[in-house]
């Protein structure tokens, strides 16, 4: 089973200002790890999701897409804390910008998270908000250690958001512990610039590949596509643009799910195999991830594609 840990929340998306001057909001289930879990399941993977879900109506709204995709909520007992919220605005290029109000996604204990882990996870994918708060970071790192002890590959998508962090230098120190545990790290060029704008992508990647376990680094470049690096090769891929474009919400999460899916199918999600991928193998993985991400962008909000939809594009 793939296990994805991290926040779920409701995206309240602002609609264009109406003639009556009223701002109207649409509610969409979201959160980077939540989106990734759904994308993994829709691609045909056995997937468990590790995050508390509120007892409120928004919690019901979050559970619906999980159940429809076939994701197993690993924390069966729902919490009384209200669902976390993200207020989303879209710029002129339909790219999402966020402000967050957190509650239920933090309503956990370290022991409770570890107790909810399956006995033998294949992959533990986490990131998003996990490193932001010191007490949360400690708990999530313990979960990663427990998952690794049970045989899981550790994969990380930190989704760096400086606006959410009161002390960014302390956050970077906590994030370093996450990097030290990960076999695969995915970041955006914006993430890397936030961490250190003076370093090139290549410098960041070289430092990550020197970490104790890191074997593969994927960097997304927005409209510029994506790049992948191991010590044995590197590759790049263009974005896949769907015939009809909605927005980019969940695109990076879908790309990560696509990459993990193909790596698992090829038997490469094991120590040594991952780091041995050459340029041709990396290009194939990136292309698959790009199609998954592009198909997600065919609708407004996060709507990851099925495996049949991805295969149809790859075959065309």
Amino acid 261: pLDDT? 98
Reply yes or no on whether the pLDDT at 247 is more than 80: yes
Q: Which residues of 199-229 are buried (b: 16+ CB within 10 A; e: fewer)?
A: eebeebbeebbebebbbbbbbbbeeebbbbb
- Under the banding of pLDDT at 50, 70 and 90, the label for residue 96 is low
Q: Which of 207, 194, 206, 205 shows the shortest CA–CA distance to 160?
A: 194
> What's the rounded Cα separation, in Å, for the pair 14 and 29?
14
The string of pLDDT tens digits covering residues 41-83 is: 999 999 999 999 999 999 999 999 999 999 999 998 999 999 9
Reply yes or no on whether the pLDDT at 28 is more than 90: no
Question: Looking at domain 2-7+30-81+109-315, does it have CATH number 3.30.70.1520?
Answer: no
> What's the rounded Cα separation, in Å, for the pair 89 and 99?
9
The string of pLDDT tens digits covering residues 216-240 is: 999 999 999 999 999 999 999 999 9
Reply yes or no on whether the pLDDT at 168 is more than 70: yes
Q: Which of 160, 224, 167 shows the shortest CA–CA distance to 190?
A: 160
Reply yes or no on whether the pLDDT at 17 is more than 80: no
H-state helical runs in 43-167: 57-69, 110-116, 134-149
> What's the rounded Cα separation, in Å, for the pair 300 and 303?
8
Reply yes or no on whether the pLDDT at 88 is more than 80: no
243 SS3 class: coil
Reply yes or no on whether the pLDDT at 93 is more than 90: no
Yes or no: say if 23 and 167 are a contact pair by the CB < 8 Å rule. Answer: no
- Under the banding of pLDDT at 50, 70 and 90, the label for residue 94 is low
Yes or no: say if 153 and 184 are a contact pair by the CB < 8 Å rule. Answer: yes
Percentage of the residues of the chain whose pLDDT score is greater than 90: 82
Q: Which of 26-30, 57-61, 291-295 has the lowest mean pLDDT?
A: 26-30
Average pLDDT, the chain: 94
The pTM (predicted TM-score) of the whole model is 0.93
DSSP state of 173: H
Q: Which of 129-133, 163-167, 192-196, 312-316 has the lowest mean pLDDT?
A: 163-167
**Other Cβ atoms closer than 10 A to 125:** 30
The string of pLDDT tens digits covering residues 129-164 is: 999 999 999 999 999 999 999 999 999 999 998 988
Reply yes or no on whether the pLDDT at 40 is more than 70: yes
- Under the banding of pLDDT at 50, 70 and 90, the label for residue 256 is very high
Q: Which of 124, 151, 149 shows the shortest CA–CA distance to 33?
A: 124
Q: Which of 2, 269, 3 shows the shortest CA–CA distance to 113?
A: 3
């Amino acid at each position: 089973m793939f296990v994805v840990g991290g926040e779920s929340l409701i995206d309240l998306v602002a609609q264009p200002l109406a003639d009556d001057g009223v701002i109207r909001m649409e509610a969409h289930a979201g959160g980077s790890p939540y989106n990734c879990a759904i994308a993994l399941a829709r691609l045909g993977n056995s997937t468990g999701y590790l995050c508390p879900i509120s007892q409120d109506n928004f919690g019901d709204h979050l559970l619906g897409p999980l159940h429809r995709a076939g994701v197993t909520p690993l924390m069966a007992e729902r919490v009384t804390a209200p669902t976390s919220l993200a207020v989303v605005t879209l710029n002129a290029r339909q790219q999402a910008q966020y402000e967050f109000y957190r509650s239920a996604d933090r309503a956990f204990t370290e022991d409770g998270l570890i107790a909810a882990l399956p006995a033998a996870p294949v992959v533990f994918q986490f990131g998003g908000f996990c490193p932001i708060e010191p007490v949360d970071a400690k708990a999530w790192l313990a979960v990663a250690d427990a998952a690794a002890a049970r045989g899981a590959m550790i994969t990380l998508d930190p989704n760096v958001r400086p606006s959410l962090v009161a002390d960014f230098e302390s956050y970077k120190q906590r994030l370093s512990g996450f990097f030290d545990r990960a076999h695969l790290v995915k970041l955006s060029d914006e993430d890397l610039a936030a961490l250190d704008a003076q370093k090139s992508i290549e410098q960041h990647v070289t430092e990550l590949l020197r970490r104790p376990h890191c074997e593969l680094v994927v960097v997304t470049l927005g409209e510029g596509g994506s790049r992948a690096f191991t010590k044995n090769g590197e590759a790049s891929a263009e974005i896949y643009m769907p015939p009809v474009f909605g927005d980019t919400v969940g695109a990076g999460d879908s790309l990560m799910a696509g990459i993990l899916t193909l790596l698992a199918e090829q038997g490469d999600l094991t120590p040594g195999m991952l780091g041995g991928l050459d340029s041709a193998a990396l290009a194939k993985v990136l292309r698959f991830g790009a199609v998954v991400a592009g198909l997600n962008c065919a609708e407004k909000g996060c709507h990851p594609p099925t495996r049949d939809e991805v295969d149809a594009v790859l075959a065309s």
